[in-house]
Structure 1
Amino acid sequence: MSESAYHQPEFLNGPDQLIPSDNLKTWELTGSVKLRIGDEGVLARTPISVPSFLIRSAEKYPLVTAMAVKRNGVWRETTYKDYYEQVRTVAKAFIKLGLKPFHGVCIHGFNSPEWFISNLAAIFAGGVSVGVYTTNSPEACAHCAQTSKAQIYVVEDQKQLEKILRIREDLPFLHTVIQYSGKPTVKGILSWDEVMKLGRQQPDTELEEKLRRIAINQCCTLIFSSGTTGPPKGVMLSHDNLTWTAHANSVNIDLVPEKESIISFLPLSHIAAQMADIYICMYAGGTCYFAQPDALKESLGATLKEVRPTVMIGVPRVWEKIYEKMTEAVQNTVIVKRLIISWARSIGLAAHERRQLQNFRKPLCFPIANAIVFKKAKSALGLDRCNVFISAAAPISPDVVNYFHSLDITLTEVYGMSESSGPHTIGLLNAFKTGSCGLTPPGFSTRVFTDDEDGYGEVYLTGRNITMGYLNMRKETNEAIDDEGWLHTGDIGRVDEHNFLYITGRLKEIIITAGGENIAPEPIEAKVKAELPCISQCMLIGDKRKFLSILLTLKTDIDAENGEPLDTLTPLTQEWFRNIGAQVQTVQQVLMSSSENVTRAIYEGIERANKLAISNAQRIRKWAILPKDFSQRGDELGPTSKLKRHIVLQKYSDVIEKFYE
């Protein structure tokens, strides 16, 4: 639908109207799509717009706390009734400030009530919400704003504001910049208080007019890909994509209305955080607590113990950090206590192995292990009320998963992407397998397109959660979504006899050796990390080469201020080196060491991984330890900690070339 069609009188029954369409995909921001509504079950659920989704929660849970943020040491709570009123107020301000239909409102800052409110206000006002990663460069920010024709840009503070000021002249549509934290020091930048005041001064008439023109099968949110495989693409999500996916997953996870709580700390510019923190939480009438900005550096543990959430979602690195700290703490206890913990963990792991086989009868000594170890461990972590433990966004080591299982913490994996509005398959408390991404819930569909005798192939997805398309990218949209509405994910995987999905790599990341062998790097990298606990990150090399080699980084401490990896090895890594006879405390000492013990230990670990290779072509021949761990700050990792392989290839090309001299 063109922008002129937006003003036609027949489309004035919003926000829960449907624009007639026979198309399953579009690349135009004003376009509409045919919803994949089924005849029964969750697929048949009546479509609902994002505004109506919030209105329903405000009416159903008016006095329930929707959001809580800690400022100046005090938790400040917002009820669903006030949440709705504040969204309306800011939406009216956006309209007064000149936001036109199908133009972007970019939001650039750490998770906060203002982020949530700006996101929903943009949608209420007929615009499009556009989350921007806080780690983005000014140039990346400009790409998001230019692509979405952003007219309003909401930033958190002076740091993010400075990025926008550098590129403002390159943004012809941008006319308003808002800073929601602190008092702006730059002339012309609006404060959050000024926006709220402006909104309160406006009548409801224009907002109601905008709401009447909203359609459920049109775009309301843009999710920009993190750019790990090329320039970021704008994934268009409709109202139905968001509200249906939230409903279907809430039902599948069996969330309890008014009883759930979650901590918001993952980047809200990513669909996983938006879906969980905003939409699923809203559907269940849950409470979202905002972590402190330094959550991923040091403060998350304290917030967990204070909030005691019922749902915990983290990227693998979050779970790995918890695992490392717990392992370190156990090693510092007396030997008797270590033996008791070890015994209890064997009971916990046995219980989870039984549960994977659908045998829910717990080992005989489980109550004792639970009383003396499991309950105390969960309480110490702030997870004693938690029922949902999820690792998302990237593969996680089975060793880490098994560690949590041994403490009766059922950590499971979820599979999804921006193009599937977030979760598409999920492991649940009583339906999981270690190493898998869980089952496909009712209403969602998954299949693997393959002629491989082992069942591996490209994973296809479909359902009401599948994106409308990529903004302004006709070719890429048609390549990703076929005419039957199946999303071609580009991921390689298989579905086992019990319908559990396993992901083994990306088509674009497949290494094709000089001998023509096709190799998925992730499984091999995971084996190396499993054999060498000192390794933080590794990246397999070998595309168009005669043999495989690998880049390794060591686990080091992190600068709490900026998240940059330090030279100092973590205590557990130092202990690993001591156990092999090397007295080192830093990466530089490892690199400068002439100890044969270090070389032998790394070599033997890689050889153990090589013994698991399915062919000689998949054996690693050479390796090198890099001087610094990968990080977002170093640009080797994306915002969700996914490896940017093309960046690493460029950055360490000299090291790589030495492998093949």
Structure 2
Amino acid sequence: MEKNGYIGLVKSAIENYSDLPALSDFKGNTLTYGEVGQSIYRCHRVFNLLGIKPGDKIALIGRNSNNWALVYLGTVTYGAIVVPILPDFNPSDISHIVNHSESLLLFSTDQIFDKIDETSMPKLKGIISINDMSVLVDNNGKVKKAINKARDEVKANNSHPVTGKLKFCNPKPDDIMVLSYTSGTSGFSKGVLLPHRSIWSNVQYARDTFDIVPGERIVSFLPLAHTYGCLFEFLWPFTEGCHITFLSRTPSPQIITEAFRKVRPHLILSVPLILEIIFKKQILPKLEKSSIKALLKVPLVNKFIYGKIKNKLSEVFGGEFREIVIGGAPLNKDVELFLRKIGFPITVGYGMTECGPLISYAPWDETKQHSAGRIVHRMEVRIDSSDPYNTVGEILVKGDNVMIGYYKNKQATNEILDEDGWLHTGDLGLLDKDNFIYIKGRSKNMILGPSGQNIYPEEIEAVINNKEYVHECLVREVNGKLEALVYPDYEAVDAEKLSDKDLEKILQNIKKEVNQELPAFMNISKIVLFPEEFEKTPKKSIKRYKYTS
């Protein structure tokens, strides 16, 4: 790790880009890098006045915003450990995480604060509003005084704090920077201890890999409390002098595309669901028209049509991006094939919270079809199988990105990290000779077929999800047989005024079509209509354990 690691990169960015715009709330306030420095200084003073020491925990919950980012930077540059909490957690889980992490302060949006019971977190010194940095709870009578005094000092200090009183911590590589409580699909979350070397290694890889310059634009809509969005929509671009715009509202496809058109970002991070919805709603209906189908069979004409589709899709995302990086879950193979056919600059990466998060990536013009990229710098990978090139096995990784372990959970740490330092990801895959990774599914999700075949429900779901009138689905094993729970696309059903009987007939036809497309051992025995959307993690992965136990 280079001197001061990530903290040194933050210091350089504030000093070198002080007059450039740094952070904006979409349709809201904008802060320069110099103003971010002032806010960090104020945060440091509050911590100091409250007796917060390096290594103490500071919890942070709320949707993406300028103030969320300021608290995060203020915490980690002070040397304290930030505990970002996903806003989708319920109140009891929030209290549990605050208590389990032994956080001394909680920064919360007013909306979330109204839902939690502050008396269930008695060890907190206080709770501070992210909205306006006012004091919501003051358990020792000192928090409000510290906030006011720090604010007065900043106003009185006319000299730029970077050249005056602003100081940054000097962490060691294995000092903890982030305590991240995951919201995976396998049950209640664990606290992942991410050291400074992990965050620095991820950020440095991005700096070495992506071609981006000061002043270029990024839209942050993935949850900042999750490592994927935090690293690549915030922590890394901040070090490059980028202008980051936060979407503080729930990021529906409509809101996201509105932001893309107005901000026109230069690099886009996304989860598959967003792209798949846009593809299904805006592109697929046009491709299904008989006139278009006929024209796509004509040489040269099809190239013209594909070019028009590519241009229109590019405009949906703002028109100035160089690449869209997909992560968090597998991308539908049919969507990927079509986008590659039209030359759309899209690539798929792979990672997990325990790696801060990056494991593999390759640029869109270098990656291989259906792969998740090649293993990144300062990381090793191997497949736990007799023939890693042809026989599926668990993906094991090792290197600078890997966590220290799970906080206060030695058993879980020993289950995932072996004595040689290999992290057992729980994902199944293959490797090729160029170190490209091919994900096949989760080991916990794999179903053993009647004749010993390995069945990956994600592969069946990808086929079903591509069918008309299907919004999403989940495949599970029931009494030795495969069944698919399908939540229909009720928008399309209502538009065509289909009856329940019509919908049932459509679902049975889908079952027939899917079984014709898949090997016999992967055939589904029945499709069950599911009445509501499946509960999901912030990465938009279905919480599978809720429907398969």
Contact 1:97 1:176 in 2 (8 A): no
What pairs up with 1:333-482 in 2 under 5 angstroms? Answer: 339=295, 346-347=302-303, 370=307, 374-378=310-314, 380-451=315-386, 454-482=390-418
What pairs up with 1:139-178 in 2 under 5 angstroms? Answer: 139-157=92-110, 159-164=111-116, 166=117, 168-178=118-128
Change (3 A) 1:484 1:624: same
Question: Given the alignment of the two structures, is residue 551 of structure 1 paired with residue 472 of structure 2, yes or no?
Answer: no
Q: Distance in 2 between matches of 1:621 and 1:195?
A: 68
Q: Secondary structure at the match of 1:548?
A: strand
Q: Distance in 2 between matches of 1:291 and 1:595?
A: 36
**Structure 1 spans left out of the alignment, 5+ residues:** 1-44, 348-364, 556-568, 631-635, 651-661
Deviation of 1:546 (Å): 2.4
Alignment equivalent of 2:471, drawn from 511, 536, 539: 536
Deviation of 1:638 (Å): 1.2
Q: Secondary structure at the match of 2:115?
A: helix
Matching residue's letter, 1:622: K
Q: Distance in 1 between matches of 2:509 and 2:483?
A: 17
Q: Secondary structure at the match of 1:570?
A: helix
Q: Secondary structure at the match of 1:230?
A: coil
Q: Distance in 2 between matches of 1:273 and 1:62?
A: 24
Q: Distance in 1 between matches of 2:494 and 2:98?
A: 45
Question: Given the alignment of the two structures, is residue 643 of structure 1 paired with residue 542 of structure 2, yes or no?
Answer: yes
Matching residue's letter, 2:151: K
Q: Secondary structure at the match of 1:448?
A: strand
Contact 1:152 1:175 in 2 (8 A): yes
Change (3 A) 1:600 1:284: same
Deviation of 1:261 (Å): 2.0
TM-score of the superposed pair, with normalisation by structure 1: 0.74
Contact 1:106 1:129 in 2 (8 A): yes
Q: Deviations over 1:1-44 (max 9, x none)?
A: xxxxxxxxxxxxxxxxxxxxxxxxxxxxxxxxxxxxxxxxxxxx
Change (3 A) 1:191 1:433: farther
**Bigger Cα displacement from structure 2, 431-440 vs 307-316:** 431-440
Q: Distance in 2 between matches of 1:511 and 1:333?
A: 38
Contact 1:93 1:199 in 2 (8 A): no
Contact 1:398 1:434 in 2 (8 A): no
Alignment equivalent of 1:80, drawn from 33, 36, 39: 33
Alignment equivalent of 2:232, drawn from 249, 257, 276: 276
Matching residue's letter, 2:487: T
**Residue in 2 that maps onto 1:523:** 459
Matching residue's letter, 1:500: F
Q: Distance in 1 between matches of 2:371 and 2:208?
A: 21
Q: Distance in 2 between matches of 1:344 and 1:418?
A: 45
Q: Distance in 1 between matches of 2:271 and 2:310?
A: 23
Contact 1:101 1:127 in 2 (8 A): yes
Matching residue's letter, 1:112: S
**Residue in 2 that maps onto 1:618:** 522
Deviation of 1:344 (Å): 7.8
Counting matched residue pairs gives: 539
Question: Given the alignment of the two structures, is residue 570 of structure 1 paired with residue 527 of structure 2, yes or no?
Answer: no
Question: Given the alignment of the two structures, is residue 197 of structure 1 paired with residue 151 of structure 2, yes or no?
Answer: yes
Contact 2:176 2:193 in 1 (8 A): yes
**Residue in 2 that maps onto 1:89:** 42
**Residue in 2 that maps onto 1:302:** 258
TM-score of the superposed pair, with normalisation by structure 2: 0.88
Q: Distance in 2 between matches of 1:488 and 1:185?
A: 43
Deviation of 1:508 (Å): 1.7
Matching residue's letter, 2:339: F
Q: Secondary structure at the match of 1:476?
A: helix
Q: Secondary structure at the match of 1:542?
A: strand
Q: Distance in 2 between matches of 1:49 and 1:595?
A: 57
Question: Given the alignment of the two structures, is residue 231 of structure 1 paired with residue 188 of structure 2, yes or no?
Answer: yes
Change (3 A) 1:82 1:180: same
Question: Given the alignment of the two structures, is residue 627 of structure 1 paired with residue 526 of structure 2, yes or no?
Answer: no
Alignment equivalent of 2:175, drawn from 218, 226, 247: 218
Contact 1:345 1:407 in 2 (8 A): no
Contact 1:346 1:406 in 2 (8 A): no
Deviation of 1:235 (Å): 0.7
Alignment equivalent of 2:13, drawn from 57, 60, 63: 57
Contact 1:151 1:174 in 2 (8 A): yes
Contact 2:55 2:81 in 1 (8 A): yes
Deviation of 1:190 (Å): 6.4
Q: Distance in 2 between matches of 1:529 and 1:192?
A: 54
Q: Deviations over 1:541-577 (max 9, x none)?
A: 226x32222212112xxxxxxxxxxxxx233x668xx
Deviation of 1:392 (Å): 0.9
Matching residue's letter, 1:395: P
Deviation of 1:80 (Å): 2.0
Q: Distance in 1 between matches of 2:221 and 2:537?
A: 16
Deviation of 1:455 (Å): 2.3
Q: Deviations over 1:85-117 (max 9, x none)?
A: 211211221332343433321111111111111
Contact 1:455 1:494 in 2 (8 A): yes
Contact 1:178 1:190 in 2 (8 A): no
Q: Distance in 1 between matches of 2:511 and 2:169?
A: 66
Q: Distance in 2 between matches of 1:266 and 1:595?
A: 34
Matching residue's letter, 1:550: A
Deviation of 1:71 (Å): 4.2
Contact 2:378 2:401 in 1 (8 A): no
**Bigger Cα displacement from structure 2, 383-392 vs 506-515:** 506-515
Deviation of 1:435 (Å): 1.7
Q: Distance in 2 between matches of 1:332 and 1:192?
A: 63
Matching residue's letter, 2:476: I
Change (3 A) 1:619 1:141: same
